[in-house]
């Protein structure tokens, strides 16, 4: 029998399974800039101030939408439209019918594997507390896939 994360559709996942599908890379917590003309999205190394970078988790996950009104809640039926999600994102992969990579904690059995593989933002971001929003363009990065 295949693992639940490959056998179930995103819509079939219960809340615990949905949360477990997150690989913990925290790339979604990086501020992004969109080119108004082309629509191209650029990632910055500026992270949300509520992200605990060491473990790549939100310090107040339950209240994240209140603390950060533009924090996006992923909706299973809309995942294929979220082109700003990194290509490594487990939600994006599963929405496209693709398998999870070997470094994903569900596959490896180790929550550190996403960090050890270099996929997460651990050690590579700065808090938005220290960057003026008009200066985000000075922090555009190319290491997010």
The whole-angstrom separation of Cα 48 and Cα 133 is 12
User: Can you give the pTM of this predicted structure?
Assistant: 0.90
Name the β-bridge partners of 52. Answer: 57
59 in any annotated domain = yes
Per-residue pLDDT tens, the chain, 145 aa: give them: 469 999 999 999 999 999 999 999 999 999 999 999 998 999 999 999 999 989 999 999 999 999 999 898 898 888 888 888 999 999 999 999 999 999 999 999 999 999 999 999 999 999 999 999 999 999 999 988 7
144 in any annotated domain = no
Per-residue pLDDT tens for 111-139?
Answer: 999 999 999 999 999 999 999 999 999 99
115 in any annotated domain = yes
The whole-angstrom separation of Cα 118 and Cα 123 is 10
Question: What's the structural domain count of the chain?
Answer: 1
Domain that holds residue 79: 4-139
Residue 91: φ, ψ to 5°: -65, -45
67 in any annotated domain = yes
């Amino acid at each position: 029998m295949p693992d639940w994360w490959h056998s179930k559709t995103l819509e079939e996942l219960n809340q615990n399974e949905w949360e477990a599908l997150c690989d913990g890379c925290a790339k979604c917590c990086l501020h992004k800039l969109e080119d108004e003309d082309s629509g191209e999205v650029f990632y910055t190394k500026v992270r949300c101030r509520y992200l605990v970078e060491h473990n790549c988790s939100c310090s107040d996950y339950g209240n994240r939408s209140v603390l950060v009104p533009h924090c996006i809640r992923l909706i299973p039926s809309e995942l294929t439209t979220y082109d700003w999600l990194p290509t490594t994102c487990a939600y994006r992969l599963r929405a496209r019918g693709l398998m999870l990579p070997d470094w994903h904690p569900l596959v490896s059995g180790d929550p550190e594997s996403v960090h050890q593989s270099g996929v997460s933002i651990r050690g590579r971001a700065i808090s938005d507390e220290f960057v003026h929003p008009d200066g985000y363009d000075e922090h555009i990065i190319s290491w997010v896939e």
